[in-house]
Amino acid sequence: MASTSAAPAPAHLHDDHAAAAIGLVRTYGSGDGAVTALRGVTAAFARGRFTAIMGPSGSGKSTLLHCLAGLDSVTSGQVLIGGVDITRLSRTGLTRLRRDRLGFVFQSFNLLPMLTAEENIRLTGRLAGRRSDPEWFGTLVDALGLRDRLGHRPAEMSGGQQQRVAVARALLTRPEVVFADEPTGNLDSGSGAEVLGFLRTAVDAYRQTVIMVTHDPVAAAHADRVLFLADGGVVDELDGPTTDTVHARMRRMES
C-alpha cells in the first residue's frame, strides 16, 4: 500500500477524519511576483460528512481542494488522507493513493469522449486493476438514472447526464473522499439539483465523505457544513447551512 511509507498523523486526527489540512501554506512563484494562495489553513473533514468550501474569487478554494486531493503540491504544512500525510508520499505513491482512495468530480465533467458512459464509469476501477462490484455498479447506475444511457458517448448526452456519469465514476471505487470542484457550475439548476441530491444521498445512505468547492449558496445548502475562506485563510464555518444562512454569511464577509 502506498500509505505505509508516510509518517503517522497527529493522534487527534486519526480516527474520525477522512481528510485534514494542518498549517497548509501554498505560495506560487517567488520574489516580487509570489502569490500566497493559502496562508496556514488548518481544517478537518469528518468521515461520512458533506462539506462545502466557499469564499470570494481568489480566496484559495480551488487551491485548498487541489492540495487536499494531492493534485497540487504544498509549500509547507501537512495534508492527511485517512491519517496518511500525503505530502510525504513519492510521486508514484501519490498517484496510487489518488487512484485507489479518492474520487473526483470536476466542473467540466472530464469524461473521455471516445468511451461510452459505462466505459467511463468503469475506467478508474480498471486503471486500479480492480473488478468492480456488479451490485454496486447497478445501484449507482439506477440511483443516477443512467441505465438507458450506458451505451452513449459523452457527446450524445446532456451536461447533467455527463455529470451523473462522472459522479458514478467517482463513487464506483468507494473512495475515502470525493472531491468536487464546482460540480454544478456548468449545469442548469434542475440538473445541478439532481447531482447535488445524489451527492447528498451518497453521504446519507453510503456514508461517503464529500468535499465540494462552490460559489453557489443553493449548492452549499446541500452540505452538512460550510467552510468559508477569505484571502487564503479559514474565516468562518457554518453547520447545517440553508441557502439563506449561507447568503447572510457571504454578505457579512463582503461588507
Ligand X SMILES: Nc1ncnc2c1ncn2[C@@H]1O[C@H](COP(=O)(O)OP(=O)(O)OP(=O)(O)O)[C@@H](O)[C@H]1O
CB of 136 to ligand X, least distance (A): 32
**Using the rule CB under 6 A, is 185 a contact of ligand X?**
no
CB 19 within 8 A of CB 177: yes
**Using the rule CB under 6 A, is 28 a contact of ligand X?**
yes
Among 45, 55, 82, 241, the residue binding ligand X under the rule CB under 6 A is: 55
**Using the rule CB under 6 A, is 217 a contact of ligand X?**
no
Whichever of 106 and 137 has its CB closer to ligand X, that residue is: 106
Whichever of 42 and 139 has its CB closer to ligand X, that residue is: 42
Stretch that binds ligand X, among 60-68, 103-111, 195-203, 218-226 (CB under 6 A): 60-68
87: Cβ–Cβ under 8 A, 6 or more apart, which residues?
A: 73, 74, 77, 78, 79
**Using the rule CB under 6 A, is 37 a contact of ligand X?**
yes
**Using the rule CB under 6 A, is 186 a contact of ligand X?**
no
Compute how many residues bind ligand X; rule: CB under 6 A.
Answer: 12
| Cα end-to-end span (Å), the chain | 48
Whichever of 63 and 120 has its CB closer to ligand X, that residue is: 63
Whichever of 29 and 31 has its CB closer to ligand X, that residue is: 29
What does the alpha-carbon distance between residue 242 and residue 48 come to, in Å, rounded to a whole number? 19
**Using the rule CB under 6 A, is 184 a contact of ligand X?**
no
CB of 216 to ligand X, least distance (A): 11
CB of 30 to ligand X, least distance (A): 11
**Using the rule CB under 6 A, is 114 a contact of ligand X?**
no
CB of 26 to ligand X, least distance (A): 8
Whichever of 126 and 252 has its CB closer to ligand X, that residue is: 252
152: Cβ–Cβ under 8 A, 6 or more apart, which residues?
A: 116, 117, 161
CB of 212 to ligand X, least distance (A): 12
Among 63, 162, 163, 191, the residue binding ligand X under the rule CB under 6 A is: 63
CB of 187 to ligand X, least distance (A): 17
Residues that bind ligand X (CB under 6 A): 28-29, 35, 37, 55, 57-63
